[in-house]
Amino acid sequence: MKTTFLKKALGVFNRSVKVRFKGIRKYNGNAGQILKQCVDSCWNGNYFQASAGHFSCFYIRDFGISVQALLNLGYRDRVIKTLNFVLDVYSRNNKITTTIYNDSVVDFPYYTPESAAYLLHSIRLADAKELLL
């Protein structure tokens, strides 16, 4: 677990240096276009990350809070793919945690029982009961 934190800390440092020299990414367009670009930038091809910046990992709480909006915006296929990824990682590690970073599960900053609740909430909202079989 300590190596996971060290890797994440190094990633945050590297991004800080990049932002210092290149600045923060800016999006063009109207509010709807900017929203779509922000959501799309959090999709890494396997799952929705918490952000496209420092928090380029999966937080079940953030996903659980956002899942209804993602479904309303038409991202059901990506929500299902995210849930598949998350369930696979949790299954391989035999635990549900707050955070997934590079296929490692971590309770950051500490264990909280809401992680399982947000996972079940997300599955229910996505109407993806088949993922539980």
What pTM was computed for the model? 0.82
Structural domain count, the chain: 1
Please answer whether residues 90 and 105 qualify as being in contact, where contact means their C-beta atoms are separated by less than 8 angstroms: yes
pLDDT digits (tens, 9 = 90+) for 14-31: 656 665 667 677 889 999
Asked which of 19-23, 48-52, 87-91 is least confident by mean pLDDT, the reply is: 19-23
> What's the angle, vertex CA 133, arms to CA 87 and CA 60, rounded to 5?
25
> What's the angle, vertex CA 42, arms to CA 41 and CA 47, rounded to 5?
130
Scanning the chain, the segments in alpha helix (DSSP H) are 2-22, 31-41, 60-72, 76-93, 114-125
The residue-averaged pLDDT of 56-78 equals 97
Task: Write out the residue range of the structural domain in which residue 85 sits.
Answer: 2-132
